[in-house]
Chains A and B, each alone.
Chain A
Amino acid sequence: DAGVIQSPRHEVTEMGQEVTLRCKPISGHDYLFWYRQTMMRGLELLIYFNNNVPIDDSGMPEDRFSAKMPNASFSTLKIQPSEPRDSAVYFCASSLSLAGVNEQYFGPGTRLTVT
């Protein structure tokens, strides 16, 4: 398996533009997670899905952020409109379950820069 795939790896955009980050989880994994990492706040869980259904979006910073999972092999995280404070590395991860015995597999991340 190729692991969790994220695209693009780097994104530079101007303030006010829409940004869409993409993720393909590992086949067969029922859970998909979106994280954000900044120097100030570290790694934060934004939202996670179980069987394509959003379960907990309490980490989504504000309404400008939205996430979808139209099928088991694809998810998007959208920021509209983007702001400079959204600059961060965004990671997608997947796992078989939420149980504490199952590890999460992370993608390489998308480095977003909003100017």
Chain B
Amino acid sequence: DAKTTQPNSMESNEEEPVHLPCNHSTISGTDYIHWYRQLPSQGPEYVIHGLTSNVNNRMASLAIAEDRKSSTLILHRATLRDAAVYYCILRDVEPYNQGGKLIFGQGTELSVKP
């Protein structure tokens, strides 16, 4: 019942940008695109979310395709501490709709080389 598709793994070099892709071809008009990451031996943590426009915060940027069927999480300068599993998740904007639940797929395991 996965609604998003991500590569299983990616590699990056330290201090280089990283682009993590996510496909969500069946996204509905009320779905937000969320990204969470899970560092080794920790619980998942929120990274960023967006609806239609590109978004930036202190952790990352989110680029959303015009048709919203795909998105890319951008880490501008990867550090060793960014090595984690990154999850792309669709969540319904409406609070009464159980589509707001977080349904985790397998995510992308990002490794960062010094």
Contacts and interface: CB of A to CB of B under 8 A. Distances in A.
A12 interface: no
Give the dominant DSSP class at B's interface. Answer: loop
A101 B96 CA distance: 13
B30 to A, nearest CB: 8
Interface centre among B30, B31, B97, B104 (most CB of A within 10 A): B104
B114 interface: no
Contacts, number: 61
Contact of A104 (B97, B99, B102, B106): B102
A99 B103 CA distance: 14
B95 A99 contact: yes
Interface stretch (B16-24, B40-48, B62-70): B40-48
Contact of A109 (B43, B95, B103): B43
B44 A43 contact: yes
Nearest to A92: B43
Interface string B78-97: 00000000000001111111
Contact of A101 (B44, B93, B97, B105): B93
A5 B96 CA distance: 27
A49 interface: no
A48 B104 CA distance: 15
B102 A45 contact: yes
Interface in A29-66: 33, 42-45, 48, 56
A105 interface: yes
A107 interface: yes
Contacts of A33: 102
Contacts of B32: 100-101
Contacts of B105: 42
B28 to A, nearest CB: 11
Interface of A: 4, 33, 42-45, 48, 56, 91, 93, 97-101, 103-109
8 contacts: A42-B107, A45-B102, A93-B44, A100-B30, A100-B91, A104-B102, A105-B46, A106-B43
